[in-house]
Amino acid sequence: MKQVPRLIVFDWDGTLMDSEARIVGSMRAAGGDLGLAALDDGTLRNVIGLGLREAIEILYPDVGAETQRAFADRYRHYFLAADGAVSLFFDGALEMLRGLHRQGMLLGVATGKSRRGLNRALAEHDCGELFHATRCADETFSKPHPQMLLEIMEVLGVAPAETLMIGDTEYDLLMAQNAGVASVGVSYGVHERERLLQHRPLACVADIPELTAWLRRYSMP
């Protein structure tokens, strides 16, 4: 008999929020401000999902701490303040979350965003009440370390066997594996389906409607 989850933890960018282009553009602009080597879209996309510090270390491994801090400051400027744009949920994502919430499911977020960035996004969309616990990369270890998931489960009193992690990158699925938690990959985000399947998710879905339908079936006793 399958274990019906009590807690579903979502990644944010690329899983619920369609923010890939904004993240890539902000990283490119930050690097340009500092005169760093221009990187292609694929390289920049690959680090989405990691904490900002870890992403910078991969993108520019030879720069010093001062340049890393300056890059982080410029990235936040462009992402949080420069254009005033609001990132949008993928079509159907907010309705899916509201349905799970009405169903009585515990919902969480484990994200590479900063706390400031996540709080801003929750406020922009007036959806903070949907989530029972959230963790950000600047509060604890970055993915794929399991600490974000472990802390969410501890706060909510839920065991790994009762938890499901949903994300669009291998960092999400590896975090789930490291925490002893089942996972679902979504291939409409950053990492392609074949890369996600290497980490043995329960399923890999192509869009929000398919994810919603899968969750409806999986959450039934």
Tens of pLDDT, residue by residue over 69-128, are 999 999 888 887 655 566 789 999 999 999 999 999 999 999 999 898 899 899 989 999
**Of 13, 62, 83, 91, which one is the catalytic site residue?**
13
In one letter, which amino acid is 163?
Answer: T
Q: Are residues 127 and 29 in the same domain?
A: no
Q: Are residues 108 and 187 in the same domain?
A: yes
> Which residue range(s) make up the domain with 155?
7-18+88-218
Q: Are residues 57 and 104 in the same domain?
A: no
What's the CATH number where 49 sits?
Answer: 1.10.150
Q: Angle at Cα 22 formed by Cα 58 and Cα 112, nearest 5°? A: 50
Domain end call among 64, 82, 100: 82
Is position 13 annotated as part of the catalytic site? yes
Q: Are residues 59 and 154 in the same domain?
A: no
Is position 11 annotated as part of the catalytic site? yes
Q: Are residues 128 and 161 in the same domain?
A: yes
User: pLDDT band at residue 1, thresholds of 50, 70 and 90?
Assistant: very low
Q: Are residues 69 and 101 in the same domain?
A: no
Domain end call among 33, 66, 82: 82
Domain end call among 54, 82, 110: 82
Q: Are residues 164 and 67 in the same domain?
A: no
Q: How many domains does the chain have?
A: 2
Q: Provide the angle, in degrees to the nearest 10, between the axes of the packed helices 20-33 and 65-76.
A: 130
Q: Are residues 36 and 144 in the same domain?
A: no
**Of 11, 41, 168, 207, which one is the catalytic site residue?**
11
Q: Are residues 44 and 121 in the same domain?
A: no
Tens of pLDDT, residue by residue over 168-214, are 999 999 999 999 999 999 999 999 999 999 999 999 999 999 999 99
Tens of pLDDT, residue by residue over 145-179, are 999 999 999 999 999 999 999 999 999 999 999 99
Look at residue 1 and tell me if it is in a domain.
Answer: no
User: pLDDT band at residue 19, thresholds of 50, 70 and 90?
Assistant: confident
The model carries a pTM of: 0.89
* Greater model confidence, 52 or 153: 153
Q: Are residues 150 and 73 in the same domain?
A: no
